[in-house]
Structure 1
Amino acid sequence: MFLKTPSDTQALGAALAPVLRAGDLIVLVGPLGAGKTQLAQGIGAGLGVRGAVTSPTFVISRVHPPDPSRGGRLPLVHADAYRLGTIAEVDDLDLDADVESAVTVVEWGAGLVEQLTSGYLEIRLDRDDDSDVRTATLVPHGSDWADRLAALDLG
Structure 2
Amino acid sequence: MREDAPVWELEAATFDADHTQALAARLGEQLQAGDLLVLSGELGAGKTTFTQGLGTGMGVREGIISPTFVLVRIHPNLPDGPRSGGPDLVHVDAYRLGSAAEIDDIDLENTMDSSVTVVEWGEDRVEHLSDSRLEIALVRSEGAAVTPAGDFHHNDPKDAGGRDGVITDFDEDDDNEERLIRITAYGERWAGRKPDLSVD
TM-score bracket, normalised by the shorter chain, equals over 0.9
Contact 1:25 1:121 in 2 (8 A): yes
- Kindly, what percent of the aligned residue pairs are identical? 47
Candidates 69, 80, 95, aligned match of 2:108: 95
SS in 2 for 1:19: coil
Distance of 2:183 and 2:131 partners within structure 1: 17
Asked if 1:144 corresponds to 2:155, the answer is: no
SS in 2 for 1:70: coil
Candidates 55, 75, 85, aligned match of 1:44: 55
Q: CA deviation at 1:141?
A: 0.8
- Matches of residues 6-155 of structure 1 in structure 2 within 5 Å? 6-72=17-83, 73-128=86-141, 129=167, 132-149=177-194, 151-154=195-198
Deviations 1:53-103 (A, max 9, x none): 111111110011100121242100000000100111111111111111000
Distance of 1:153 and 1:23 partners within structure 2: 20
Amino acid corresponding to residue 138 of structure 2 in structure 1: L
Distance of 2:56 and 2:21 partners within structure 1: 8
Q: CA deviation at 1:146?
A: 4.4
SS in 2 for 1:53: coil
Question: Mind listing any 5+ residue stretches in structure 2 that lack a counterpart?
Answer: 1-11, 142-166, 171-175
Amino acid corresponding to residue 92 of structure 2 in structure 1: A
Q: Please state which structure has a larger fraction of its residues in helix.
A: 1
Runs of 4+ with >4 A deviation: none
Distance of 2:91 and 2:32 partners within structure 1: 15
* Count of aligned pairs between the two proteins: 154
Question: Mind listing any 5+ residue stretches in structure 1 that lack a counterpart?
Answer: none
Distance of 2:192 and 2:28 partners within structure 1: 15
Larger Rg: 2
* C-alpha RMSD of matched pairs (Å): 1.6
Distance of 1:2 and 1:132 partners within structure 2: 10
TM-score computed with the length of structure 1 as normaliser: 0.93
| Relative contact order, higher structure (CA 8 A, sep 6+) | 2
Distance of 2:134 and 2:99 partners within structure 1: 21
Distance of 1:147 and 1:64 partners within structure 2: 29
